[in-house]
Chains A and B, each alone.
Chain A
Amino acid sequence: MSDPFLVVAVFTVFAAMFGLVSVLMPKIVAPSNPGLEKQRTYECGVVVKGDPWGESKIQFYLFALVFVVLDVESLFLFPWGLVFRDAGLTGFIEVLVFLAILLLGWAFAWRVRAMEWE
């Protein structure tokens, strides 16, 4: 058996090299004639107006916010899941309290319409 860390390291390097080679290969094999019209961003043929690198909806941030909180709390469940059979019923009840607090936050997010797409 091989050292798992070494495999992760070597494989990451390989995968990154695969991606970089594939992306840079057209530089050699493919033709390249840039033109004014060709380099314009694609907007279904309409004249480009405005800049997409600007203000977008706050709704995206609200989703990410709820995600981060729930993600942290769900990650705390992993170490508990490992030991929960040794921890006994008290451990289970403790985690039920934790889950209840988590669901409280979730219900609040629903209540203030942070999970709606509007």
Chain B
Amino acid sequence: MGENFFISLKSQLADIALAWLPASWQPMISAILVSCAVMAFAPLTMMFLTWFERKAVGRFQDRYGPNRVGPFGIFQPLADGVKMAQKEDIIPEGADRLLHHLAPALVVVPAFLMFIFVPFGRDMVAADLDTGLLFFLAASGLSAPLIISGGWAPRNKFSVLGGLRAAAQMLAYAIPMALSVVAVVMATGSLSISAVVEAQARLGYWYVLTPWGAFAFVIFFLCTVAEAKRTPFDMPEAESELVAGFHTEYSGLKFAMFFMAEFTGSYAACMFAASLFLGGWIGPEFLPSWLILQVKAMALFFVMVWFRGTIPRFRTDQLLALAWKFLFPMSVLVLVATGAWYFLRMDSGIAAIIWPFLSLTLAWWGLSVVLAHEFIRANRPRRADNAG
């Protein structure tokens, strides 16, 4: 299982296929092999992550988590999948039947697409586009309309509201996410994700270790948690008021598709964050590069699970206030700080680290105070609001 295991496996498989087919098929075969590999990776990761999350949250809550199917319950996701597939497909009357089928089927497409832009290891990026960064953001932006349609199709009040809320939340967090990526683009001078990783290898430090990078990373990571609608940002599917949000009326595998989109999307975002700020596949020489990226991404995913085990859910108004009134101005300030960092040639010296870091920290606390003030103001009793 060395560094080049997957690359040589792919070329061997391609050689076998080319023995049967004309040589002009070479690009096609290569594309199919890469696609198959990523297609296998995504659902398998999702299965592992569901098991990991249930096990970890179980430990946080002083339980065992799944422990019946297989050693440590590792085959629990398989059993769940078989159960899901046998569930009756219930479409409520008055629903848009076509959309009820299409929305869960297509919601996995953008979530899976995010994987092919991320470099899994050295020379291991499925689609090495010059503008991969933007395509990643585009793929994550495309899931908002699909989730609105998923909520709209069953003609249920809870799911319509859940879908609209989910989209409002995803839109709100997309802006600071894009702006924190701009900071990385400024530092690298390229929109290709592999170029970002290679630039960090060349510089010898990860972007998260620079003052602007630390803040951009925190903003970016919070935004990915919110984009994936995970706790503490899971208001669109809050059980206590919206039943299950946009997937209330979906049963069996349709529900599993929404779930899969959420998990694969958040893991792809973890891999993306690890590539942008944590050096991607750069790491100790004795480990294969693809393993290093997975370790970093799993660590980030563990932080997401940690959030879920620790932090209570935000209220919708707090959640949107956090995006619009805190993360957005903060990300603009990070952009300005990044520009200043490069123009004032502050690459060297300990003072060059401390001053930007201190001023950004000051801005962070200042904005926090403003946000806290907003929260307190929102808690004052006002005239009764209509729900929604």
Name A residues whose Cβ lies closer than 8 Å to a Cβ of B. 1-12, 14-16, 18-20, 22-27, 29-34, 38-44, 50-53, 56-57, 60, 63-64, 66-67, 70-71, 74-75, 77-78, 81-85, 89, 92, 95-96, 99, 102-103, 106, 109-110, 115-118
A30 contacts B328, C-beta separation under 8 Å: no
B87 contacts A30, C-beta separation under 8 Å: yes
Secondary structure at chain B's binding surface: helix, strand, loop or mixed?
Answer: helix
A-B contact count (CB 8 A): 227
CA distance A56 to B155 in the complex (A): 13
Q: Which residue of B lies closest to A107 (CB)?
A: B329
> How distant is A55 from chain B, measured CB to nearest CB, in Å?
10
Tell which of A4, A53, A99 touches B129, judged by Cβ atoms closer than 8 Å. Answer: A4
CA distance A72 to B227 in the complex (A): 19
* Chain B, interface residues (CB within 8 Å), range: 35 or more
> How distant is A41 from chain B, measured CB to nearest CB, in Å?
4
- Top 6 A-B pairs, shortest CB-CB distance: A117-B317, A2-B30, A19-B105, A81-B185, A4-B127, A67-B171
Q: Is B381 an interface residue (CB 8 A)?
A: no
Q: Is B160 an interface residue (CB 8 A)?
A: yes
Q: Is B55 an interface residue (CB 8 A)?
A: no
CA distance A32 to B90 in the complex (A): 8
**In B334-388, which residues have CB < 8 Å from any A CB?**
335-336, 339, 342-343, 378, 385-386, 388
Q: Is B17 an interface residue (CB 8 A)?
A: no
B128 contacts A42, C-beta separation under 8 Å: no
Secondary structure at chain A's binding surface: helix, strand, loop or mixed?
Answer: helix
A92 contacts B128, C-beta separation under 8 Å: no
Q: Which residues of B contact A30 (CB under 8 A)?
A: 85-89, 252
CA distance A89 to B339 in the complex (A): 9
B157 contacts A6, C-beta separation under 8 Å: no
A20 contacts B35, C-beta separation under 8 Å: no
Q: Which residues of A contact B328 (CB under 8 A)?
A: 70, 106
CA distance A19 to B342 in the complex (A): 45
Q: Is B45 an interface residue (CB 8 A)?
A: no
**With contacts A10-B35, A19-B257 known, is A42 near B324, CB below 8 A?**
no
**In B6-38, which residues have CB < 8 Å from any A CB?**
27-28, 30-32, 34-36, 38
8 sampled A-B residue pairs with Cβ under 8 A: A2-B27, A8-B116, A8-B127, A19-B107, A52-B156, A67-B175, A96-B339, A103-B329
Q: Is B295 an interface residue (CB 8 A)?
A: no
**With contacts A25-B85, A52-B157, A84-B339 known, is A4 near B325, CB below 8 A?**
no
* Most chain B CB neighbours (cut-off 10 Å) among A57, A63, A96: A63
A11 contacts B336, C-beta separation under 8 Å: no
**With contacts A70-B175, A77-B182 known, is A23 near B249, CB below 8 A?**
no
